[in-house]
Amino acid sequence: MNETIDRLLFEDRIFPPDPAFTAQAHIKDDSIYQEASLDRLGFWAKWAGQLEWMEPWTEVLEWKAPFAKWFVDGKLNACVNCVDRHVRNGLHNKAAIIWEGEPGDRRTLTYWDMQREVCKFANVLKDLGVQKGDRVVFYMPMIPELAIGVLACARIGAPHSVVFGGFSATSLKDRINDQQAKVVVTADGGWRRGGIVPLKQTTDEALKDCPSITACVVFQRIGGSHSITMKEGRDLWWHDLMAKADAWCEPEKMDSEDLLFILYTSGTTGKPKGIMHTTGGYLLGAYMTSLLVFDLKPEDVFWCTADIGWVTGHSYFVYGPMSNGATQVMYEGAPDTPSRDRFWKLCEDHGVTVFYTAPTAIRAFMKWGPQHPESRNLSRLRLLGSVGEPINPEAWMWYHTHIGNGRCPIVDTWWQTETGSIMITPLPGVTTLKPGSATVPFPGIEAEILTEKGKVVTSGGGYLCIKSPWPFMLRGIYGDPERYEQTYWSKWKGMYFPGDGATRDDDGYFWILGRVDDVINVAGHRIGTMEVESALVDHPLVAEAAVVGIPHEIKGTAIAAFVIIKEAGAPGPDLEKTLKQHVVDQIGAIARPEKIIFSSDLPKTRSGKIMRRLLRDIAEGKTLGDTTSLADPAVVESLKVKYEGEEG
């Protein structure tokens, strides 16, 4: 850790805001930070007043740590805020979504189109028996219908739960069952690198064991000769249902604290957690951070490249930009299909002005070379964003130079599924940027770096901590209040522990170092080491497994698995392939181990805990640290010899 800290803090390139940018920005000076810290609740309330409420709140915050209620008794509807009020306020014919499918098909939906489609699908759900409070799962490609479906749920008060289309049938099944969802919405497939992602087939596999599901709605994305089976009495075509649906649906009056969605994310145990977000506070966060961090203006064309299956797509495709009435680009496929300039062609064709992506994508673009963005006209871009993992200064500089042409500020935004919206970030008209630093907490957010015991760290590394509740914080883990308290609020009393390590420099800037728990961030996606270990030991030939993260040029971190096989098995390339595929089948392609190292033993402490630090050192080829607490130090040496042998 110290090496990383030294390298980061050595970074002395700085980028003050361009006065021309500041002059046009929503936030032009830093008075907003003082305003927020002088009266935090008043500050949030002022901004919440910009949303459309059906009934006012009586109290801004009721805090019984760690359980918060924001905008108590306030009533609103998130869908009305994202759609209806723009239709009413003269933006009815403004493009809400400019969509491109991977094969090149295009569709544009105005806010008025969105209202009609959302209302129709809301009526479809109601006809299927979905009532306020019933959960609806989406397992879809990146097509407008996913946003339509999600907003339809918000309209009728049915919490949505989007499962990323890259997850396996087992992952989908577990998520459906954990929340006892009533309806699942999918598509016959989606396009990815010219191939078809068989979403319906995977859904069928999952639904073999999902007794709570009463209906499965299928959107026809692929059609043609791509045949799927429709199960009588359960499966229904989206287009059949929509053809009969009425184009108006009265929005439900929702309490500020009514559940808006559940989104599953990986933690330190084998089972992903259902993170719960409620209506008022979450919507405020998405609305306000979109407006201020991305400096959104009516004429902007915003493109957040994240899939709606992740929280970034929830907050910076569905709720944030849409509550601001923005025009957005949505793209279904891969960045290198049909060629490596696809993203830049999309930016050129649709005149993207604000672009938000992940460091892992930026590193891939770097590797592919600057000729791809250079071949396209990116002159409309005015602001760039980064999210999902620490951005290394080299990638930051490349992004700044080759995508932003040296003109565009970069907002490096730190946040999590649990935090709901951006927490640590520059404000582009105000903050002097340093490549690799997410800079400072958003106004109203109180962050600190603490030691294990809760002492404030002034220099060097420590644990990132959020000291007080904020409106867009998670409200819990679905069905598990104890785990909520234990995971996030027990390290230091009444304070939130995000699971990240960080450091601060002399200017008070935060440098996020990454996860300090058993979560690995692979290409910006969270995977629990235990999740992958459980998937491995699920294979009949595996006796024991230990998973660690290792540095990777593009992904940032990749998965390395140490595996002990049962006597019946023979280690070798075949088994390695089989086990990698087994993990993919169990979790999804994002969890595919980069390396499998067969071993006859694993280094354990005398109390029997696997020493992951040592495994990481072995996998990274580092000199081994202290091994004195090991039950059998010889294990390490033999592992190291074995691994290095395989490497060579």
Site string for ligand WTA, 434-463 (x = CB under 6 A): ----x-------------------------
Which of 178, 235, 500, 533 is in the footprint of ligand WTA by CB under 6 A? 500
Residues between 358 and 417 with contacts to ligand WTA, criterion CB under 6 A: 387-390, 412-417
Does residue 515 bind ligand WTA (CB under 6 A)?
Answer: yes
Which of 353, 360, 521, 557 is in the footprint of ligand WTA by CB under 6 A? 521
Q: Which CB atom, from 583 or from 590, has the smaller least distance to ligand WTA?
A: 590
Taking CA atoms, 522 is separated from 358, 586, 592, in Å, by 11, 17, 10
CA–CA separation, 289 and 311 (whole Å)? 14
Site string for ligand WTA, 525-564 (x = CB under 6 A): -x--------------------------------------
Ranked by CB distance to ligand WTA, the top (closest) residue is 417
CA–CA separation, 80 and 87 (whole Å)? 10
Does residue 523 bind ligand WTA (CB under 6 A)?
Answer: no
By CB under 6 A, which span of 13-21, 40-48, 107-115, 510-518 interacts with ligand WTA? 510-518
Does residue 612 bind ligand WTA (CB under 6 A)?
Answer: no
Which of 498, 556, 571, 593 is in the footprint of ligand WTA by CB under 6 A? 498
Question: Do 150 and 213 contact (CB within 8 A), yes or no?
Answer: no
Q: Which CB atom, from 410 or from 639, has the smaller least distance to ligand WTA?
A: 410
Least distance in Å: CB of 170 to ligand WTA?
20
Q: Is the peptide bond before 321 cis (omega within 30 degrees of 0)?
A: no
Least distance in Å: CB of 325 to ligand WTA?
23
Of the candidates 385, 418, 389, the residue with the CA atom closest to the CA atom of residue 400:
385
Which of 101, 320, 514, 571 is in the footprint of ligand WTA by CB under 6 A? 514
Taking CA atoms, 359 is separated from 79, 302, 306, in Å, by 31, 18, 12
Q: Which CB atom, from 413 or from 529, has the smaller least distance to ligand WTA?
A: 413
Neighbours of 299 (CB within 10 A): 9
Q: Which CB atom, from 466 or from 635, has the smaller least distance to ligand WTA?
A: 466
Q: Where are the beta strands (DSSP E) in 375-524?
A: 383-387, 410-413, 447-450, 461-466, 476-477, 500-504, 510-515, 519-522
CA–CA separation, 561 and 592 (whole Å)? 10
CA angle 190-193-196, nearest 5°?
35
Residues touching ligand WTA, count (CB under 6 A): 23
Pair type for strands 136-139 and 183-187: parallel
Question: With 0-12 CB in 10 A as exposed, 13-18 as middle and 19+ as buried, what is 511?
Answer: buried
Q: Which CB atom, from 422 or from 541, has the smaller least distance to ligand WTA?
A: 422
Least distance in Å: CB of 629 to ligand WTA?
28
User: What is the total residue count of the chain?
Assistant: 648
Least distance in Å: CB of 481 to ligand WTA?
20
Least distance in Å: CB of 394 to ligand WTA?
15
Q: Which CB atom, from 207 or from 590, has the smaller least distance to ligand WTA?
A: 590
Least distance in Å: CB of 556 to ligand WTA?
9
Question: Do 503 and 494 contact (CB within 8 A), yes or no?
Answer: no
Least distance in Å: CB of 367 to ligand WTA?
20
Question: Do 170 and 586 contact (CB within 8 A), yes or no?
Answer: yes
- Cα torsion 503, 505, 508, 514 to 10°: value is -20
Q: Which CB atom, from 522 or from 579, has the smaller least distance to ligand WTA?
A: 522
Placement of tokens 């598509």 in the chain: 187
Residues between 296 and 355 with contacts to ligand WTA, criterion CB under 6 A: 310-312
CA–CA separation, 307 and 91 (whole Å)? 25
Per CB under 6 A, residues contacting ligand WTA are: 265, 310-312, 387-390, 412-417, 438, 498-500, 512, 514-515, 521, 526
